[in-house]
Structure 1
Amino acid sequence: MHDIRAIRENPDHFDAALARRGDAPLSSELLAMDEARRTKIGAAEAAQAEANKAAKEVGAAKGRGDEAEFERLRALVSEKKAEIAKLNDEAKAQDAALTARLAEIPNLPADDVPDGADEDDNVEVSKWGTPRDINNALEHFDIPAVKPGMDFETAAKISGSRFVLLKGTMARLHRALAQFMLDTHVNDNGLTEVNTPVMVRDDAMYGTDKLPKFGDDSYQTTEGNWLIPTSEVPLTYSVAGDVLDEAALPIRYTAHSLCFRSEAGSAGRDTSGMLRQHQFEKVEMVSITHPDASDDEQKRMLRCAEDLLERLEIPYRTVVLCTGDMGFGARRTFDIEAWLPGQNAYREISSVSTTGAFQARRMNARFKPANGGKPQFVHTLNGSGLAVGRCLIAVLENGQQEDGSVTIPSVLHPYMGGKTTVQPDGTLA
């Protein structure tokens, strides 16, 4: 959510920042709505002052025995009360309209975000690892060791397209990855583990900028709650309406959860395998920080995600998204793309974003400065640490061997009972 006062103070900067995203200027429209709202508020205040003055004069007129003046003033007070009520109702309606309009506008990009139109203009900032030279590399679903435990046909019979049934070794390996990620975040990265609900109210989706923009991409229950697109929503919204002590910052959370997305805008994309599913699992990272610390916090979160891939020995590259490819609520986003030999390409496995005060203003999450003064909005950040299903794909494709087996990364051996290989028949050895 944008601060109308900031737009009022520097409309040219606001329009220029929107232009970097490829959006039309909006300051004139917003300021006209703001002026209309403020005019009604001013008129209501003026009418209230007149009503107060008349109310004081009513008693004096009665004391003088001036019946005509007494009746005139009483009528004036009554008239002003009706006028005030009408003006306040109009001001509230205009305020609601302005708030709704502001909620539709994306966050402004940070100054250091590269300009660009789409993903082709993203900028690589680092690369780690050297992809193995694999003859005739297969995609994950075609690897012999994987086929017994990755069942798309049965999942389609149960739930429809874009679901998968993991069985046996694949289910265990998937679970091992999530446990490895959580253990690393808690034990090494200092995050607090949270087990969140997977259903949230409208307010939580709105406060984390998923509504109204992404309603079509999410699943809503018949009771009106929403299935979470990621645990970013409940983790971030947990501080909604709070006024935190500055000493409590930063707050760093991690959660492993089911996630649900309708993928309404991705028809025909990645329909094979489990790269893009309606139901999937992620280990999420969320930080609530002091505004002065948020940029450094984003770098820290990025390293947490990159380190997981390095421990798993998966080559990756990190890119900073250009203005045309950033998400709605982000002011800066880094994507980590894992190397997938079966596709001969790097594919996104994590996004780490800072939203500044964009979400905090929507959900009124603030902190009390230690040196006094008015409460300020916190900054919120979120990042995948990591997408579990996509990480499974990366492990399988990078670990595939010519005999159809898959070598398991050494950091996962303790989670797999000391086993090191998925054999061609799907069993562990």
Structure 2
Amino acid sequence: MIDLQLLRILKHKSDYLRIRGRVPTSALDPQTNAILADFGKYFDMFPDQERIDHATFLPVFRSRHPNLTAEQSTAYDGILSNVMTKDVPEDVKKGIMRSMLELRMGTDLANLLAKFDAGDLSNIQGEITRLVDGFKADAGIREIDYIRDDIGDLLREEIDDSGLSWRLECLNQSCRGLRGGDFGIIAGRPDKGKTTFIASELTHLAAQLPTGQNAIWLNNEGPGKRIIPRLYQAALGATMSELIKMDGGGNIRDAYISIMGAIDRIRVIDVHNADCFTVEGIIEKQEPGLVVYDMIDNIRGFGDSARTDLGLERMYQWGRELAVKYDHAGLATSQISNEGDGLQFPTLGMLKDSKTGKQGACDFMMMIGASNDPGLAGVRYIGMPKNKIRREGAPQDPRATVQYSPQKARYEDIPYTADTSGASDE
């Protein structure tokens, strides 16, 4: 049976655009779905129309259904005339839309169970949670409001330079501090110091978080316990032999706490083989101020995309959405493709498996360049081919040469020394 009430609601363009995506097509009869599709075509053809006009809609409808018999055409004319001449009260409209949402949720749940029974769904709890969250938002149980921040407050936030500062001064000169909602990519070639860079910067960034707030390092590379000594090295600026000596003296933990503020200021969590729903659950529970995804490419949950690059783009967009949703700064590690091997400053398109997808989903992208010259093994190059957290008046890309000290898990600025080789003695 054709749902006349639903058609009366969706004949208005504002309601059609706002509600159409919530209507479960599988729960409606074919005739209602056909007319709704024609409504959409009509609004595309007549973008200035705010509601369906009966006289101009009929030719569109007939052209899209040329095989209707005269009897069927007359019946549809009567139905459409009924739809166009009557409206639905607001309270009735809300009740109908609630019913539509419940129908959609029931249909989606049935489809999930079918996929689960067929072995095509690995995390049914996460998918059900996603459906329930969507239902709450659409039904108005969790209201979505517009941004109400005052322009003066927003401008003062920019002026006061708030946020977490970097250890490398070359980054501070180009970038404002990290804030909740920021999402960046840190990329390097394999075995060229990416973990050392993260440890060096994270120990400096996390120490600035408010008391009681922590950073989490989501690790799906090697064993997470191997990261802990690197964090101690980076925080204390110490070699491994110096750490062992401090531990023997019984003061290594106190030294770490004096710098970091808490023994668990950085929490390393192994997420090998975890999917996106598990990872989001960890973030929701931990309530961190800073999250490192190492490596985000290995998180499962986006394998249904037609191409690898499309799946990765969705993954990085998901990471950025989490940074906004849970108000933390996010740093995702990635790899530089073979094109960037040996280059000091790899370019924007040299991320592994992505020319534009990953890049478009982040606020900034740091590229750790490294020369293949053995004489430059202790040097790295920091470039930012994308930088939306740039300081006003500062260069977008620092293109800086820095000291790489893996023996103490640090990246350090190289002090500038003026060239006096040609200076006069006068």
Which gives a bigger RCO, structure 1 or 2 (Cα 8 Å, sep 6+)?
1
TM-score, normalised with respect to structure 2:
0.21
Would you tell me which structure has more helix in proportion to its own residues?
2
TM-score, normalised with respect to structure 1:
0.21
Would you tell me which structure has more strand in proportion to its own residues?
1
